[in-house]
Amino acid sequence: MKFKFTILLAVASLSIFTISCSNRKVTRIDANEQIDINGSWNSTDSRLTAEDLIKQISNDVWLTNHLQAKNKKPVVIVGMVNNKSHEHIETETFMKDLERSFLASQKIGLVQSGKKREELRGEKADQQTNSSVSTMKKFGLENGADYILQGSINSVVDAYKRQKTVTYQVNIELTNIETNEVVWIGEKKIAKYIKN
Amino acid sequence: MKSLLLLTFLLFSSLIINAQDNPDQNPNYQKSMDYYMKQKDELQKTMNTTVQNTYKAFDWYQNKLDKKQQRKDYRQQVRLTRASAPSFYYYPHYTSYNRYHRNWNYNYNDWLFWF
């Protein structure tokens, strides 16, 4: 009887302790608000990178050169971004902003790449046997890209005791697929001073 | 007959011109094309992705915190090991002389005999 009471008391105490510990509070914030918590790469860095790169790519001379030479808007495909920094960084956050800006400006065309392109071709293959002839999409009519967008992220860390400086360098390059000529290199540097 | 021959000649000429419409193109381009056509799937695997080639940067403060955590984890592991398999030499219970000596050939992993 006494043993049972002890167990009951222990369980009750544990429950009270658990409930009292869970004082987590979550509030929605503006996605553009700058909140730095531990100094790592965050949404603000991604946004600043996207904004700067969009400005650079849309105002550069490569676009006018292409329009003069070909008399039609350039078509871009997104290639690989190599993260060589000291942190895990997912570049899709700012690369998607860049892609969206292409479509919004109507000056640069965009074609699908990677896994999504594979899925599209898979769907097209499926249509060859399952869709009606009038709605079936044909192979060999994709838009070929004129340029490929590739990038890299590098970082430099300098730390001693409770002080640290981190510099990120994001480079995005646009290369002519036929000639391998690099027509544009965008750059964004973000430097941070962190004191613990 | 003459016109037929002329037509055939023109047709073949146009085909040859179309096949190599850029006179500056390297005549050995086919070798390179064959080489890359074989491995195009492999080369396109990382397209539209972020390849993570990260490195570990030395951070004095983080290193200190990590070492502290390592020490805590090590001490916890030692405590757990001692608790799960108490040694005869470490924590002998001198509660009762007879009880202490009654199992000279006890199983070291069987800690229940202490209680």
Domain definitions of chain A by residue range: 41-113+141-195
Q: What is the dihedral of CA A87, A91, A97, A102, to 10 degrees?
A: 140
pLDDT tens digits, one per residue of B28-61 = 999 999 999 999 999 999 999 999 999 999 888 8
B68 in a structural domain: yes
Q: What is the mean pLDDT of residues A159-186?
A: 95
B85 in a structural domain: yes
Work out how many domains chain B is built from and give that number. 1
* Chain A residues with beta carbon closer than 8 angstroms to that of B60: 159-162
pLDDT of B93 strictly over 60: no
Substitution target in B25, B59, B64 with the highest count of A β-carbons within 10 Å is B59
- The residue range of the domain holding B81 is 60-103
pLDDT band at residue A74 using 50, 70 and 90 as cut-offs: very high
Tell me whether residues A80 and B48 touch, CB distance under 8 A: yes
Whether domain A41-113+141-195 has CATH 3.30.410? no
B74 in a structural domain: yes
Strands A182-195 and B50-52, sheet pairing = unpaired
pLDDT of A112 strictly over 60: yes
pLDDT at B95: 52
pLDDT band at residue B22 using 50, 70 and 90 as cut-offs: confident
* Of A140, A138, A142, A194, the residue nearest A165 (C-alpha): A194
pLDDT band at residue B85 using 50, 70 and 90 as cut-offs: confident
Tell me whether residues A113 and B47 touch, CB distance under 8 A: yes
pLDDT tens digits, one per residue of A79-105 = 999 999 999 999 999 999 999 999 999
Select the residue of A116, A157, A162 nearest B57 (Cβ to Cβ): A157
Using a CB–CB cutoff of 8 Å, tell me whether B58 touches chain A. Answer: yes
B3 in a structural domain: no
Residues 6+ apart with CB under 8 A from A191: A165, A166, A167, A168
C-alpha dihedral sign at A129, A133, A137, A141 = positive
Q: What is the mean pLDDT of chain B?
A: 75
ipTM over 0.85 threshold: no
Tell me whether residues A159 and B61 touch, CB distance under 8 A: yes
Please enumerate residues of A whose Cβ is less than 8 A from a Cβ of B. 77-92, 113-117, 155, 157, 159-162, 164, 196
- Is residue A90 within 8 Å of A151, Cβ to Cβ? no
